[in-house]
């Protein structure tokens, strides 16, 4: 059983051993309510899954959530779900499972870790013993596969590449740090920097997608915004690979949908940072699982971290 919790939707599925999803369901993430009001949507997802004829065959439950998460306590404080602060989502889900007659071992991971588990199992990192997987979207997150094992760290946040500093005198990040990758290369940061440099959207789309469209059309400020983001990502990817010897970096998320507009500057700048012999062949590739990565990753994390 897999649950994917994000700022816009809460999804669930029963995932077969080959990765096929069945009984998939989703609810919009409630707004303007309290913590229990948000959890009510999770409970509805569990209840709908419990009506599937495959429900009695479930052996474990994985929960992937927007972060920060604290896997040691089973709590989440998603920046995009204001009603949840230190919310005990793992215990509450476990109670719902028991209420529906199926008490399952349950594990909580951050959404970047879930994405890494998914891409290693069925996606672009398949067959790689060591991989860094990243989500570049409104924020920048990630997860690590080391020696064919998911490496979430004690609290479930290992691999959170978005908060590696790549600019010692860079802008203050929302996390409180300075010069974090997220403060330079997230979709929000790309759009903000382009606007600060005088870029104005021709079609009214001032988001990172609008900047990407302008870059594809040759706009010099938009191209510079993506070059700046690509350089920050390249520096962080190289630093991570140098530290733990990952051979591939898989990048997904909304900003990665811009394709070569993002990937070309990353690969160009990577040559300046990944210079040691054991990281010189580092690959940077797009993720392939898209919107399915959250649920597949939650299931994969449960398989990798829990015994049946």
Task: Encode pLDDT of 63-94 as tens digits.
Answer: 999 888 999 999 999 888 989 999 999 999 99
Sign of CA dihedral 148, 141, 305, 123: negative
Q: Can you say whether residue 113 is alpha, beta or left, with left for phi > 0 and alpha for psi between -120 and 50 degrees?
A: alpha
**Sign (positive/negative) of CA torsion 154, 156, 159, 163?**
negative
* pLDDT given for residue 66 in this prediction: 86
Compute the mean pLDDT over every residue in the chain, rounded to the nearest whole number.
Answer: 94
Instruction: Check residue 79 and give its pLDDT.
Output: 81
Residue written as token pair 């913590």: 35
Banded pLDDT at 175 (limits 50, 70, 90): confident
Binned at pLDDT 50, 70 and 90, residue 308 comes out as low
* Alpha helix (H) residue ranges in 71-207: 89-99, 111-122, 181-185, 187-196
Q: In which residue are the tokens 């949840």 written?
A: 84
- Three-state DSSP at 220 gives helix
Question: Would you state the structure tokens that stand for residue 53, as one six-digit string?
Answer: 């004829």
Span 193-204, mean pLDDT? 92
What is the arithmetic mean of pLDDT over 270-277?
95
Burial call 39-57: b when 16+ CB within 10 Å, e when fewer? bebbbbbbeebbebeebee
| Position 307 pLDDT exceeds 80 | no
C-beta separation of 272 from 147 below 8 A: no
Bridging pattern class, strands 21-28 and 9-15: antiparallel
């Amino acid at each position: 059983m897999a649950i994917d919790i994000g700022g816009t939707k809460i999804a669930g599925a029963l995932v077969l051993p080959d990765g096929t999803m069945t009984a998939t369901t989703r609810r919009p993430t409630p707004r303007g309510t309290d913590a229990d009001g948000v959890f009510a949507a999770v409970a509805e997802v569990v209840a709908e899954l419990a009506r599937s004829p495959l429900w009695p065959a479930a052996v474990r439950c994985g929960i992937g959530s927007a972060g920060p998460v604290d896997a040691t306590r089973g709590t989440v404080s998603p920046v995009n779900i204001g009603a949840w602060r230190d919310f005990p989502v793992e215990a509450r889900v476990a109670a719902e499972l028991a209420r529906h007659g199926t008490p399952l071992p349950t594990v909580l991971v951050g959404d970047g870790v879930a994405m890494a588990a998914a891409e290693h199992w069925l996606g672009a990192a398949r067959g790689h013993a060591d991989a860094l997987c990243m989500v570049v979207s409104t924020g920048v997150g990630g997860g690590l596969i080391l020696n064919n094992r998911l490496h979430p760290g004690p609290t479930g946040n290992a691999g959170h590449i978005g908060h590696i500093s790549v600019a010692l005198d860079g802008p203050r990040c929302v996390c409180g740090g300075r010069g974090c990758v997220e403060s330079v290369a997230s979709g929000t940061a790309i759009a903000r920097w382009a606007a600060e440099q005088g870029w104005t959207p021709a079609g009214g789309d001032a988001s990172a997608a609008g900047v990407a469209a302008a870059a594809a059309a040759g706009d010099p400020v938009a191209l510079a915004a993506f070059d700046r983001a690509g350089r920050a990502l390249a520096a962080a990817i190289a630093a991570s690979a140098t530290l733990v010897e990952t051979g591939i970096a898989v990048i997904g998320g909304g900003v990665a949908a811009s394709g070569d507009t993002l990937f070309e500057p990353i690969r160009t700048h990577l040559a300046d940072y990944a210079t040691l012999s054991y990281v010189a062949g580092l690959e940077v590739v797009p993720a392939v699982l898209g919107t399915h990565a959250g649920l597949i990753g939650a299931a994969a994390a449960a398989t990798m971290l829990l015994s049946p």
